[in-house]
Structure 1
């Protein structure tokens, strides 16, 4: 019996967007990407087996590369990873039901891209900074230094709690400082959850294409000012993953 198939939906684009011949979708082997059109809109899709497990690193990479590559040349509304519908008619129904809302959202994202700023503290410098600001923590650090772990277990736990609280407070302040540094250069921002206890900054920004260079310059200046305390990474340009929820896309 032939395997039942469905259509994996990547994102919504203007109707004149055409997938490149070498565009590859999710699955093993990768599916061929096509555009299903309705009115002013199109959905980028590829065929997948309904029993095929999705979510491998290669699938996530294919999903993001397709959307980011599309966003470099046209506005795109990413649809949540893993959205699979029964066939072309279901895609057309989706586009028809939400046509005006999707078209307005595409207009909003025209000429804009997402950038993600991810900063992580240097652990040694961070701990030294917390101890310098907190005499009680510094005293605990002196008590446990060179002592057996079992004999100073309670002190070490307390010291860890104080350092963790200090990191959280510094993270909140760091995010505010980065937001202030680029506020005049961005359209919107969204906070992302920390990916590590040493995370200093994790923010997504929506930026006009003609302001991207100024945005990058402002972040580079900020990173220089923070010296050796943290390492800052800038990722992008990407499709606007962190900003489409406001439009309640399916998935």
Structure 2
């Protein structure tokens, strides 16, 4: 029996956008990326087996690289990873049904790009500051230092709880400061939840292209002020993943 083929949708773009010849899609082997047009819109797609597995790290990388590369030259609405339809007619129907909504969203992202700023605490420096600010925690740390873990289990549990609470409060404050300092250079911001217990501030920023250099310089200054305590990473430019609202996404 012949394998049934579907279309993996990456994103919605203006109708005049053309995939580059070297664009690589998901799957093994990677599918050729094409644009299916309807009216003033187009969808970037590639063929995939309808029953084939998706979700390998290479697939996610291909998805992100295609969208980020597109966002560098044109507005794009990322479609949820793994969205597959049965054929070109289904794509055209989708574009027709949501044409006004997609067009308005693309206008919103014209000339704008996403950046993510992510900070992670340097653990020794963080613990040192927490203990310096909290005499009760410092006393517990003295009690357990050099002692057998089993003999000091209650104290270690309590110390861990106190440090965790202190880190959470610091993270909240760091996120507020991150958004206050850098948000004024962006047209929109989106806080991001922590992915690690040592995460500090993390947020996405939608930035006008004519302010990119100013934004990057501000991030570098922000990171330099905290370099003894926090390792700061700047990710981007990216497609506007964090700013495509639920009503704009293809579900």
Global fold match (TM > 0.5): yes
Aligned equivalent of 2:3: 3
Note the C-alpha offset of 1:202: 1.5
Q: Deviations over 1:100-147 (max 9, x none)?
A: 110010010001000011110000000011111111101100100111
Q: Deviations over 1:139-189 (max 9, x none)?
A: 100100111100000000000010011111000100111111112210111
Aligned equivalent of 2:151: 151
- Conserved in 2, the CA contact under 8 Å of 1:105 and 1:247? no
| Off by >3 Å, runs of 4+ in structure 1 | none
Q: Deviations over 1:30-82 (max 9, x none)?
A: 00000000111000000100111000000000000000000000000000000
DSSP 3-state at the match of 1:150: coil
Note the C-alpha offset of 1:227: 3.3
Aligned equivalent of 2:175: 175
Query: 1:248 & 1:73 partners in 2: Cα distance?
Result: 20
- Conserved in 1, the CA contact under 8 Å of 2:24 and 2:66? yes
Aligned equivalent of 1:212: 212
Q: Do structure 1's residue 100 and structure 2's residue 100 form an aligned pair?
A: yes
Kindly report which structure 2 residues correspond to 1:85-124, keeping only aligned pairs within 5 A, or say none. Answer: 85-124=85-124
Structure with greater helix percent: 1
DSSP 3-state at the match of 1:190: strand
Aligned equivalent of 1:250: 250
- Conserved in 1, the CA contact under 8 Å of 2:118 and 2:203? yes
Query: 1:145 & 1:129 partners in 2: Cα distance?
Result: 17
Note the C-alpha offset of 1:246: 4.6
Any stretches of 5+ residues in structure 1 without a counterpart? Answer: none
Query: 1:96 & 1:36 partners in 2: Cα distance?
Result: 12
DSSP 3-state at the match of 1:82: coil
Note the C-alpha offset of 1:201: 1.5
- Conserved in 1, the CA contact under 8 Å of 2:67 and 2:239? yes
Q: Do structure 1's residue 138 and structure 2's residue 129 form an aligned pair?
A: no
Query: 2:69 & 2:218 partners in 1: Cα distance?
Result: 25
RMSD value, Cα: 0.8
Aligned equivalent of 2:73: 73
Note the C-alpha offset of 1:219: 1.2
Query: 2:209 & 2:46 partners in 1: Cα distance?
Result: 29
Query: 1:212 & 1:172 partners in 2: Cα distance?
Result: 26
Aligned equivalent of 2:13: 13
Query: 2:112 & 2:247 partners in 1: Cα distance?
Result: 16
